[in-house]
Amino acid sequence: MKVLLIGANGQVGKRIVRLLKDSNDHTLRAMVRSEEQAEALKNSGMEAVISNLEGSVEEIAEAIKGSDAVIFTAGSGSKTGPDKTLLVDLDGAVKSMEAAEMAGAKRYVMVSAFQAHNRDSWKDSPIKPYMVVKHYADRILMTTDLNYTIVRPGGLINENGTGRVAAAENLDRGTISREDVARTVVASLTEENTYKRSFDLMSGDSTVEEALKNL
Ligand code: NAP
């Protein structure tokens, strides 16, 4: 598949870049925000495009054009305010869905957040506004014609991945390495059992492939 990765300069994004760079099954176009980031990727042999989720749907569609799939692993992060949470994590995400449809990329893999589908699980959370945004971005994705997969990882950590995960509609809260999130996202691209599905993701006992097949 030709894959357009939104958030390619992020912590999960960089790990997905590494996996796709070595992949025999996929080719990557990395979407980043700055000339400097694009140059760094190009210098290591990657295709890169500059686009911003705060730009227009048409601009994002231009970045996606020619791709079969979009992976969304962007996020405004905890250091910016609620305005950016709305503009990037919600409106930016939804614009990228519209752009994928406009550009004819049918497959869409979203990196969401643990239990984003379940309001009860974050009703007293200090990051409730972020969870609301992830919840509605996911809900809107499910109303599109895109062939989506929504991956809802637990707390992200930077330890080495184990390649062992748990994936299910509902899991107990825990953590997962960004490397294992990246592996799961890449494996989901072609695992048909994840098509039009959403699931919580945590470190666990199964290989990524087994976990996705047994969802
Ligand atoms: P990260 O390192 O903060 O990466 C986010 C990326 O999004 C960055 O590369 C950033 O670009 C990019 N971005 C921000 N605003 C953008 C815009 N307007 N247009 C285009 N790109 C933009 O995040 P991460 O740790 O990899 O997390 C990936 C995803 O997992 C996020 O969606 C996050 O919400 C979600 N998540 C996080 C946790 C957690 O425990 N932290 C748990 C569950 C899910 P720059 O590099 O230019 O800044």
Instruction: Give percent above pLDDT 70 in the chain.
Output: 100
Has residue 22 got a pLDDT over 90? no
Q: Which domains does the chain have, with CATH numbers?
A: 2-213 (3.40.50.720)
Query: For residue 15, what pLDDT band results from cuts at 50, 70 and 90?
Result: very high
Phi-psi region for residue 98, left (φ > 0), alpha (ψ -120 to 50) or beta? alpha
- The answer to whether 107 touches 189, Cβ cutoff 8 Å, is yes
pLDDT at residue 67, rounded to an integer: 98
Question: Which residue is closest in CA terms to ligand 1's atom 18?
Answer: 53
Q: pLDDT tens-digit profile of 106-152?
A: 999 999 999 999 999 999 999 999 999 999 999 999 999 999 999 99
**Which whole number is the average pLDDT over 1-14?**
98
Question: Helix (H, G, I), strand (E, B), or coil: what is residue 121?
Answer: helix
CB atoms inside a 10 Å sphere around CB 166: 18
List, chain by chain if needed, residues with CB within 6 Å of any ligand 1 atom.
7, 9-13, 33, 52-54, 73-77, 88, 92, 111, 113-114, 153, 155-156
- The DSSP secondary structure of 159-184, one letter per residue, reads SPP-SEEEEESS--S-EEEHHHHHHH
Q: How far is CA 105 from CA 1, 69, 102, in A?
A: 10, 5, 8
| Structural contact between residues 6 and 71, judged by C-beta atoms closer than 8 angstroms | yes
Does 108 qualify as catalytic in the annotation? no
Query: Cα separation of 186 and 62, whole Å?
Result: 23
Nearest to 113 by CA among 29, 171, 26, 68: 171
Q: Tens of pLDDT along 35-83? A: 999 999 999 999 999 999 999 999 999 999 999 999 999 999 988 988 9
- What is the pTM (predicted TM-score) of this model? 0.98
pLDDT band at 13 (very low <50, low <70, confident <90, very high): very high
58: its two tokens: 């048409």
Give the type of residue at 165. Answer: V
Q: Are residues 201 and 152 in contact, defined by beta-carbon separation less than 8 angstroms? A: yes
Quick one: which atom of ligand 1 is closest to the CA of 72?
Answer: 32
- Summarize pLDDT for 149-204 with one digit per residue, the tens: 999 999 999 999 999 999 999 999 999 999 999 999 999 999 999 999 999 999 99
Task: Please provide the size of the chain in residues.
Answer: 215
Largest CA distance in the chain: 46
In DSSP terms, 197 is beta-bridged to 149
